[in-house]
Amino acid sequence: MITPKSGLKGTTRRAALKTLAGAAAGASLPLWARYTHAQTAAPIKVGFQVHRTGIGAAYGRWYDRTTQAAVKLINEGGGINGRMVEIVAEDDGTDPKRGAEVVEKFANQHGCDIGFGTLFSHVVIGSAPRAGELKLPYFVVSEGHHVASGKLNRYTLQPGITDVKSQVQAMAPYVAQNLGRKVTMVFPDFAFGHDHRDFFTAAIEAQGGEVLEHIAIPPAETSFTKYFPKIPRDTEVLYHVMVGPAVLTFVKELGEFFGGQGPALFGFIDSLEAVAIDSPGLEFLENSYFWEGMCRHRQPDESADETFYREAVGVDDRGASVSDARDVSTYAHMFGCWETLHVVKAGMEASGYAGPQDRAALIEAVEAMTDMPAGRDHPQGAKRFNGKTHQVFGHQYISQVQGGQLVRVHTTSIEDTLYPDEVDYTTQAF
């Protein structure tokens, strides 16, 4: 259950009570009866903006797989407000211009109720203004700080995955206390990487550390050795976060450059998303550390809800597809699709959503949410949503490579990730 704020408008409260009453009544029906009733109504159309091609293709493939699994579960449970959910997917090519065009297709061509799913930050920034103009609720699964910064608009929300600012703020104390305080950063040269540059620099300085060098790498780069000589000799920690199809090349060349020597390594798992940790040439990563949004390798204390999720998306104990061990998932990010769709479901049910005329009510219902307990809807862990900034906050995980296994060694609190509000979207008109 998602807890609404006490200030939720009376109309939304009544809708929520009606929804709960309806849910209780519906639950007394056999599943076939609920499902048959749902099929008599037009489906709720979710416009899925997916990176099928471009540098985000590996993420897009697994975002798609996770989205399909979540929708299957929702529909098997009777859908949303008695209606089935239909995914309308469009490839944005991981391109900002195409992203805006896709959003327009969702609103004007496909008649979608919402837009959903975008990951790469430059695509979000290129697409969100058009969503606002079209008054299309736009639920992104991106991690970028662009939502909570106030850069976007009231129609853009990020309720299923935490942002970079909260992540690095929570990570920095562990890095400073356990790995070192003199840091060199290697990051992609676009908005997501710039968030890491800006916010981790501030966070490590707050811990008495410093960043000796910022090394920005073009996102389409395919070879990285030429950048490594820029790493200062007195670097104690190399902080790396890379994305795209060349990540395996990046980590392999990093190992070849240092030859098993050099600074401690702290990476965001983005540098190894969709890449097996035991790939040849990655032996040098033993004992290094990674941030993980959700632990790819099954941990001994994995919850029953996460196990259910892992099985639903078809991922094995090491985070690879159960049908192909070579197909490694983007496990640290893709849960955001699952959780966002369950937030959308809760918001539509609380607002009594019946069609595009209720889009504003849907947004208000999500803005009213606060605590999101860990459970089947939120298998990554408990979260706290800030309706003013449209950003969710949650636990972060640090794992160490031990014997070729990603072993969780630190879990932050939600409080570790919080920061002062930079915007209040609720004051903006619809």
List the pLDDT tens digit at each of the 430 positions of the chain: 455 554 444 444 444 434 433 443 444 444 434 444 444 479 999 999 999 999 999 999 999 999 999 999 999 999 999 999 999 999 999 999 999 999 999 999 999 999 999 999 999 999 999 999 999 999 999 999 999 999 999 999 999 999 999 999 999 999 999 999 999 999 999 889 999 999 999 999 999 999 999 999 998 899 999 999 999 999 999 999 998 888 889 999 999 998 878 899 999 999 999 999 999 989 999 999 999 999 999 999 999 999 999 999 999 999 999 999 999 999 999 999 999 999 999 999 999 999 999 999 999 999 999 999 999 999 999 999 999 999 999 999 999 999 999 999 999 999 999 999 999 999 999 9
Q: Do 164-299+398-411 and 10-162+332-394 have the same topology in CATH?
A: yes
Q: Under CATH, what is the fold of the domain 164-299+398-411? A: Rossmann fold (3.40.50)
pTM for the model stands at 0.89
List the one residue out of 246, 250, 266 whose CA is nearest residue 167. Answer: 266
Question: Going by CATH, does the domain composed of 10-162+332-394 fall within 2.40.30.30?
Answer: no
CA angle, residues 311, 312, 318, in degrees to nearest 5:
40
The residue assigned the tokens 């941030």 is: 291
Q: Which residues pair with 238 in a beta bridge?
A: 184, 265
The residue assigned the tokens 């990540």 is: 247
**Domain chopping of the chain, boundaries:** 10-162+332-394, 164-299+398-411
> How many angstroms separate the CA atoms of 264 and 204, rounded?
15
Q: Are 276 and 256 in contact (CB under 8 A)?
A: no
Contacts of 316 (CB under 8 A, 6+ apart): 322, 325
List the one residue out of 224, 184, 395 whose CA is nearest residue 294. Answer: 395
> How many angstroms separate the CA atoms of 13 and 11, rounded?
5
